[in-house]
A = this chain, B = another copy of it.
Amino acid sequence: MTNIPSVPVPLSGERFSVVYRLTASDEAEARDKAWDICLEQTVEFPDDLVPNGVIRDHILGRIESFKQLNAYRFEAVISYAVETSGFELTQLLNIVFGNSSIKPGIRVERLDLPDSLLRAFKGPRFGRDGLRAWLDASHRPLLCTALKPMGLPPKELAYLAYQCALGGIDIIKDDHGLANQSFSPFTERVQRCAEAVAQANRETGLKCIYMPNVTGPANRVIENARFAKQAGAGGLLFSPGLAGLNTMQQLADDDRIGLPIMTHPALQGSFVTSSDDGLSHFVIFGQIARLAGADATIFPNFGGRFSFSREECASLVEGTAVPMAHVKPIFPTPGGGMSLARVPEMRELYGRDVIFLVGGGLHRHGPDLAENCRYFRRMIEKM
């Protein structure tokens, strides 16, 4: 065996914690898994090769607590030196779950990050209060819809946007499938839709905003966002599963842009489809979305055409508001095959700090889209 030197490493002693839920056939296996995480997420070295001293005592993950939840489920809280994260999102995610994502039966339930680490993150620029002020809607739930279907040209999409803005929708976003396609080029679409919403606002006196989808190649996202802002967009839609959480963070932190960001879960589903593996709804759509600068987080509502349970949605909502120092709470935005009929039931779970996202369902209520939107808005206001 070679001699790995034991070296002094300047560390503050501050640690952050991750709550892991482990699936195992018995306690011994679960304890092995927990210890394995300590190694895998840091030194990635066989136990007997880890040098004694600072590396073993401080760099290595540390099991802070361990308990059995039921026959096959266990919970381990593991802490890491804050310095291992390099104080950046990419490496923080790497420490939390990089290699362990490849091992079955390990699920990240919750992050506990001290101020010394959170200080590295600006978090959401607007958050709940900021978005309410931006939209001049201080108390009620917010209303959102999506421009679709894919295939419509900018002019038709802009007409739909105009109707929805006339009808009192607060946020009109691109469907997340609208990118920069030949049949709906980004720049033309953004200009026409932003203009249509501005026109409607002049007629209604309301403050509807248009949120174009700026997801795209890494070197185009900031450019897309600056174009959108100049065209009069009032916010941005972004899919971090497609274009990267850290790209979203860059977008949120850019003072030349300064628009609210709504995050879409495209391609992030694989983190939550299994209840044994991946990341919890609380973490990925709540805590991580906030660290990466989202102001609102879209997710499939329970009972829609996706499979999230009511409990998973409730836990996600907790993640949008759990205290994280200066990192603001954000808006849960349930959608995914919602009909107006389900709004009362949703209201019961989500309360008033919610954005109701109704897409196709808005077209079903009656023949006049603006009127359907007015009906939706009255329904919310009456609650």
Contact = CB atoms under 8 A, between A and B. Distances in A.
What's the interface size class on A, roughly?
A: 35 or more
Interface in A37-79: 40-46, 49-51, 54-55, 58-59
A306 B104 CA distance: 9
A95 interface: yes
Interface stretch (A14-22, A199-207, A364-372, A374-382): A364-372
A98 interface: yes
Contacts of A44: 146, 148-150, 175, 177, 359-360
Interface in A274-324: 274, 277-279, 300, 305-308
B218 A101 contact: no
A359 B40 CA distance: 13
A102 interface: yes
Chain A interface mostly: loop
Contacts of A55: 149-152
Contact of A218 (B51, B58, B181, B244): B244
Interface stretch (A134-142, A229-237, A264-272): A264-272
A2 B216 contact: no
Contacts of A368: 2
A133 interface: no
A270 B279 contact: yes
A5 B156 contact: yes
Contacts of A256: none
A175 B4 CA distance: 15
Contacts of A344: none
A9 interface: yes
Given A43-B149, A98-B267, A250-B219, A86 B306 contact: no
B247 A151 contact: no
A9 B269 contact: no
A84 interface: yes
A352 interface: no
A94 B179 CA distance: 10
A115 interface: no
10 contacts: A2-B368, A11-B183, A44-B177, A84-B181, A90-B217, A94-B239, A97-B267, A98-B239, A101-B241, A102-B307
